[in-house]
Structures are given as C-alpha cells and as structure tokens.
Structure 1
Amino acid sequence: MTMICDACLTEPENGKLKRCSLCKTAWYCNAQCQKKHWSEHKSACKKIVKTQKEKEAKEKAAKEKKAKPKAPEITEDKVSGIVDNERVTIARVHDPLDGYQYQIFMPKEAFGAYINSKKPECWCGDVGNQQSLLAVFSFDPKALSKDPKQRLKSSYLSAFGVNFQLQVYDMLGNMAVDLVDEADPKIPKNTPKGISCRTSYFFVSGQTGDTLSLPPPSDHADMKNSGVQKCNSSMSVWSSVGSNQCLGVNMVKDSLTIPGSALDSASFSLAPGFLVENKPMVAIAVLIEKVSEVTTLEQFETAVIQSRLHSFHSDSVPSEKIPPFCKSAVKQGLSKLNMGMPVSVIGVLEEPPKATTTKANAKAKTKSKSPAATQSSPDPNKLSPAAKADLDEIMESFAKGMPALGLIERGLGNPELQPVLQNVMSSPQVAPMMARMMAEMKAGN
C-alpha cells in the first residue's frame, strides 16, 4: 500500500513518512509539511487524542474493576421492614460484609407534624437515673488493626435479657467504638420487640485509673464534625438480632490510657482468669441503662423516634449537647460513680494473656470459657444466721426502695457479710437506687 503525505499529497522520494506525535494518524514528508498542514489538522487531531484518552481510561477502569473483588450487594432480601406509615419508615438491613444488622430510619411527610403535636422530651435529661450496668473494657491500643474487619471484641455483657459486646477498630486513623447485641437465630429480623436502652461511655485515665474523660472528637478532615466533641450517650432498641450501633469515633492519644497495673486494685473486679500487664492500656467505661420494655409496634416506633431526638435538641441548645450526668460523672471519677464499689473489667474475647506482672493475678492459670463476663459471687446461703438476718432485712429495704443505711453500714463492716453485700450493691437493680439516695443526701447537706 502506497502512503502519501497528508499535506502535499505526494509520495516522498525516499519512501519514508513521519507520523504526528499526538494523534499518530497523520503522516508527513517532513516538519515543514506538518507545520503547513497544522491549521487544517488541529481540530481533528485534538478530537482523536481525546477519544483515545477516554478509551484508555475506560479500559483501565474495566481492568481495575475486574481485578478488585466485587462487594456483596445489599438486595431486598437483606432488608427487614418493621414500620412503614405516613410518619416514618424503619427497617433493619443486613450488611453482608460484617454480618451485622443496621437500622434504617427515614422520616416522611407527616413526621414534622407528629413531633410538633406530641412534643416528646429528649432522652438526654434522664441519663444516669435508671437501672444500669457499668463495666470497663480494657485492651492494648497497639492491637488495633488498620483492617476494619479485624475488630477487638470484648467478652459478652449480659444485661436486661440481652448479651452486649463492645468492639473497637481503626477507622481512618481514629478509634471507632461499637456496641452490638448477640443474635438469637430464633428471633425474626423484623421483630419490633426488645429493650430500649441508653448507653454512655467514657475513657478511663489517670495513674490509678479512677479519672473519667469524655471521649475526644475525631481528627480526620474527611469526617463530618471533625474536631467537635459529640454526645457520648445514645439511645437504641435492642432486639437480639445482631444489631450494630456506633457509639463514637475518637482520636487516640496517650492521655487516654492507664497503666495496666491500675486494673489490679480495689477499684476493679477482674473476671476469672483475666490477667493484667503493666503497660499502657485503653479502658473504656460503658454504662448501659434500661429505659423500657418494647413489646408492641407502636412502642417500637415511639422508642426509635425518641432515640433520634438528641440531634435536634443539641442543634437548638448546643450547651446541652453533652448530658449533665456525663459532665458530673467526669468530675466524680469512676469510684464515686460506682459508689466506691469495684467495677467489672472485661478483656478481649478469647485473647490469651501474654504475661502477668501482679502477684494477685499470678495464680490465675486459665481463662474463663464462658462468653459472658462473669464474677464468682459469694454464696449468701453460707452466711451465719445473724449475718443472714441482716442481709434479709437489707434486701427488704431495697425492695421497698428505702435502703436501710444503718444496717448497710454495719454490714459493710462485717468481714463475713461485706463481700455478699458489695455484690448486691453493685448490681444493676440496686446501684442506681443507692446513687440517687447518696445524691439526694449530698444535695440536702
């Protein structure tokens, strides 16, 4: 095939042509012919180059898409609808990547009118006043993985008929704190039944592990509200379906660690076989409060709507963004928050201890096989008749909601009765009652 110059339309004497270096589709005898033809060729050259670049980009994207594993799609069969009316749509969606259930909440046209007519109060004003469970999750911050699938998971916390678990992981260089409930395969994913709970969390700090700090904000520029301290309390309905709720995403700093040896003190109660190491540990104190039983669809809708109120409330009253209880708890410290009673410490689930540096824990040779963080409780049936009589009278006063402070003080001074009484007073049923009474007495003085 004979080729000719696109400018002079003749065949070169030496039979060789030079190609346009941009579009690579035009041919010339020499640079003079190319320069002469440029005004005519320029427009077509640019279009050809643009088309070639677009084609290359599509081919590259197709190769990357083929090489990259396709994320599982969230299809309709993974969405469990619960409420769908003129006010809201509420559903649970199963994330195939991590296996947990996440709640979808979509307000509708009548939502604003409903809120204006009902005028529900925000839940944050009553934080810290209900039946509760307090525990500390301790772990080595160096164990946090950059892989979000590699989470540090705590032993289970059994409260109000639900098995809770704390999970922490690295999210964009920050520490994400999640709370999940253990899934019961017998419970349908679209059930409205469950337990409405509030959760407040703190970071334990200080050399003795008694100082409480509000969680710091995130420091990632791409995250919403970066650098702004958000509410450390939240409300949710738990139905034992494997729900996952993010409590917060926080900066990780050395000031938010405590010496591991601080956990081996009278302020903390370690699960059987739990060993502590004398190195910096992150300790997250979590308070889970029971708000109400949820048994009907109407109660579920009301509770879920109420759980969303604090975002509106804090926008209108920024000074109340952090609940008053959480601010006062930080000032009191962990010991006073729990009325001087030991706080249960839970560690990473099924993580074998590497070493122990404390004499008190050197005797612990095995880790608890139970998934729940349990404490070996003193047996009240082995008390002497006199101590048993005092305990019965104290328990009766608790049942009436009027703790017998004189008997309690005497019982705490009795070496035989003290461990049993401490176990009772640190229970979710009694601890809030005693806390309220102590607060009222303090206010009266």
Structure 2
Amino acid sequence: MSRHSLIAHYGKKEAVTVQNTSITDNFIIHPESHLQEFGFNSTLHDLAELGLTVKEVAIDLFLIAMSVYAADTRISRKYHAQDEWTREIDIYLPVSNSDLWHRNTQLLSNLLQFLTGDRWTFHFRSRPAEYRILAHTARPDLFTEIDHISLLSGGLDSFIGAIDTLDSGQKPLFISHHNDAVTSSVQNYCLNALKEHFGDDSFYSIKSHVGFSSELFSSGYEDTTRSRSFLFYTLAILAASALPRDRKVIVPENGLIALNVPLDTLRLGALSTRTAHPYFIARLNQLAAKLSLDVDIENPYRHQTKGQMIDECKDKSFLRAHIAETMSCSDPKKARWQGHSPQHCGYCLPCLIRRASIKHGFGKDETSYGLALTDNAINSRNVEGIHIRSFQVACQRLQNKPHLAKILIHKPGPLSDAPNEIPKYEKLYQDGMQEVYGLVKDIVVKPME
C-alpha cells in the first residue's frame, strides 16, 4: 500500500509542505488560458455565455471534485491499495476561503469515503493573490431565466427526466459531463432529439469535458471511477450557484439503482456504486448548505423502479422512438474486446435492470446488446453468467423471504435522513427485484467447460 498526495496549483507550481510520507504528484491548472486538457476554463466560459456568474466557493468545490476525480482515475487500486480497493489519498488545494473549508473538511472527507471507499484527507491553503477571483463575469443582459438544473448523462433515466421536465413546460439547464467519445455522442443524440421534439428554445445545455490524460501521474490507471458522480454533481452545483433563486438540482435516477442493494455479501460497501444513494445526496446537500450555496439536490424518482419510470413517462411514444439510443451500460467500450463497436454489454447490473425495465414498459426492446438472451444456456463461470445468476439467487431469496426487504435496504448505507420514506424504499426494492426477476427467471445459467 502507498499513501498518495496530490497537489493542485494555479498558474505555476508553489512550494507546498507535504505532511505525510507518500508518493507525491502535482498538477497545474491554468485558469487564464483556454486550456482544454482539464475542462476547467471552458466550463466557466460556457456558464458565463449563458449569463451565469458563479460563486467562488462553488468553483472551489468544482476544483476539489476535479482533483478527486484525477486521483481516483490515476491511482491504481490494484497496486496502491492495502486490500486492492481502499486507498489513502491526500489532496492539497488552494481555495477562496480556507477557514470555511477547514471547518467542513471532515464532512467532505466522510461523504467521499462513503462514495469511493477510500480515505481522503484535505489540506487547504489560500489562493495566490492573482487568482482570488476565477469566475468569468457575465454581462447582465445575457442572463437567461432557468427554472432549475438537471443532470443529463445520456442514460435512459436522465432522458426520461428530461422528457418529464420539458413536457411540464419548465425550462431547465441540462448539465452533462463526458470524458470519452462514446458518452459525448450519446449525449449529443439525446439533446438533439429533445430539441427537435420540444423546440430549440425549450431548454439550455452545457456539456463539460473534464478528464485527465494517462500521462498526468505515474501511479497507474483505475477504471472504477466511483468519484465521477461527485464531479457531475459539483458541475450542477456550480451552475446553480449563479441562479438568483430556486437553486434546485434534479438527479433523475431510478430507486433500485440509487439504493443499489448488494446482490451478495461480496458486493458490500463501495464495491457497489453509491452514485445516487439517499445518504450521499443528503450529505452533499448538507455540505452545500454549510458553504452557503443554498442548493437543493433532489432525486424525484427515488421511489420508482426503472420500469415504473417508463410507465409513467409523460411522453411514452417519444421515449419509445428514442429509447434504444440511450446508454445504460457501465462500460460500453468493453465491446471492443470482441471486435465490436461500443454498445451495451447486456449483462452488467445496469444493463440487466435496463432490459427488465424495457420488457416491463414496452415488451419489445430494440437496443443492441453484446449478449443475446436466448434459449441457449449461459456459462456461470463467465462474467455474464455470474451477473445473471447473482440476480436469480437474490430475487429467489426475496421471493421466499419477502420480509428480508426491511433489512436489505439498509445494507448499502443509512436511510436515517428521511425515516418516513423507509416503507417506500422497501416497496421500491421489492417491486424492482420483481421487475428484474421477470427477465432473468427463465434464463438457464450453469457451469460449462
């Protein structure tokens, strides 16, 4: 195991004393340039073009998320974690108000440990004098009326969220993040389809390309990227900080994925993603409040299955026409291993939930999947068989002992922030697993040579 220190600098490298013996890496952000490598300046520029002058403390939060994302994706768990998962990472960063951030360091560390499973320590210092103000000042006449901020990832859930919002007559700002061509292409498709259907002036959108080259550090590559959701949310908070009122951020995510109850005991903790878990969203809201950002992050679909989201979509015919082009797969690029273009693998947890929801909502699924669910048996020794069999076992267990739902929904994390919603989460979990069982129950999975 190796402890890591990541030191962020503005403009030029500063002298920073590292407090622990560790592997140390530095990276420099050039806010005065149009450097596209990290996506920092272009994001602030795009927001200013919409007439939005963001708060400096929100820029701090965005840069913290960028630093965390850089460390998360460039420090290998396999080679630098004590258990091939948990890493110890120190982040050194200049901020606009170091006293404010020092008071909230523990909350920040705790919410990130819950999300990624790593141990994070933050060391804040004041920004250099020439970088005290980083926000791009927008002309007042450019300001546009925005009802709220909504995440648009290119996934099925966020596409339904966009349809529901636009159908209700609201005018949102869609925030998208991408770090690869596949994700960017899917997001472009969704945005263009929405514009064609609802009108060019029905919404605003910003696509932020934040990513880091493989040469940035010498500590390997990591593909679990648990911190991506933190970066995604901070992009939305950054935009919301410029709104004069109603600073609401919508996170459209079905409740089954948001809870993400582990299918077996090997998937406990951060091994199972906590992207939209109620506890994480509550802690992020708590942090935003302590930073006086007055932002409210909400998942309006937290009590619905993915199939129920399809059923209750406000424009099902439009959704049906475009649903196959949305992307739910955890890693569509792995199709290249079989010589195919990027597509849904068809067997990861998000793919199986997607397939079950479309079967529930529409019956026929036009999505292209790498794994076809046919009458042929699937090898339980292979990864696709393992995922399907895990769902079968978990669903059968719940069928036999439905009372387990009361216990299992608490496994991924606390639900104590809204105790009155616990019965709804219990029903959501039962409904969601029943939905998936309708897909996997008749699939033959067995060991084969």
TM-score tier after normalising by the smaller chain length: under 0.3
Taking structure 1 as the reference length, the TM-score comes to: 0.22
Structure with higher Rg: it is 1
Taking structure 2 as the reference length, the TM-score comes to: 0.21
Would you tell me which structure has more helix in proportion to its own residues? 2
Would you tell me which structure has more strand in proportion to its own residues? 1
